Amino acid sequence: MNARAILAALLFSLPWSIGASAGNAKEDLRAARIAVRELHRPDSHCSIDMLLLYTAIAEDGVALMELGITAGDVRHFRSACDGARAKRFLANLKHPDITCGADLSIFRELVADGGLSLKDVGTTNGEVRRLTAACHRAQAQEYLLQLRKNLNGRQCGLELIQLYGLTSTGDFSLESIGTSGKEIAGLRAACRKVQREVRPPAPQRKKGPFI
């Protein structure tokens, strides 16, 4: 069994409830030591290692000295882990789909929280701008496709809001996603018509004896 598998097994065996037995101190320390070893070569799944390390220090009372590290090492692990994860989301953004907005938000958050530069994660401002535009374009194309395929009265309004928001970024033209202002106006009108058709009738007020 490799170190990550051992770490996962220990994670699920740890007592998370309040008032956990002190008899698990050895397991806590072992899990923390494995986490430290993994964090010396962080990959995109290092968040579990950071969770184990923070839990061991803050909740289980494991001393940094027992792990052979310092507070500076912990800060370095956090920054290096954020960098490794940011690289994974950056790679995702190079193949954008409708979910790329989440990848973009997490990427920016990791770079900011980790105190990283774009150079640290192997990119540039220019590339990030291009990837952002490509993401917005991919999302807009998907919402447009959904609107063309099925004008569902419950969904088309939300899809139109998303589409309008993406087109307003100025990152791409309507022509670049294969549409026009005329088509979008037509889809909006068709959506409103469907919404009127599926809208339940307003309940009629019952007349009381004194009305």
64-68, 91-95, 151-155: segment of lowest average pLDDT:
151-155
Q: Is the pLDDT assigned to residue 151 strictly greater than 80? A: no
Higher pLDDT, 25 or 135: 135
Number of domains into which the chain is organized: 1
What is the pLDDT averaged over residues 185-191? 93
* 87: three-class secondary structure by DSSP: helix
pLDDT for the residue 161:
93
175 in a domain, yes or no? yes
What is the Cα–Cα distance from 18 to 20, expressed in whole angstroms? Answer: 6
Dihedral-angle region of residue 170 (phi above 0 means left; psi in -120 to 50 means alpha; beta otherwise): left
pLDDT tens digits for range 117-149 = 999 999 999 999 999 999 999 999 999 999 998
Q: How far is CA 48 from CA 20, 57, 81, 104, in A?
A: 21, 14, 10, 21
171 in a domain, yes or no? yes
32 in a domain, yes or no? no
Count other Cβ atoms within 10 Å, centred on residue 110: 22
182 in a domain, yes or no? yes
For 206, counting Cβ atoms within 10 Å of its Cβ (0-12 exposed, 13-18 middle, 19+ buried), the class is exposed
186 in a domain, yes or no? yes
- Residue 178 is part of which domain span? 138-198
191 in a domain, yes or no? yes
Q: What is the mean pLDDT of the chain?
A: 85
83 in a domain, yes or no? no
User: Following DSSP, what letter does each residue of 115-157 receive, concatenated?
Assistant: T--TGGGT--HHHHHHHHHHHHHHHHHHHHHHHHH---TTTHH
Percentage of the chain lying above the pLDDT 70 cut: 82
98 in a domain, yes or no? no
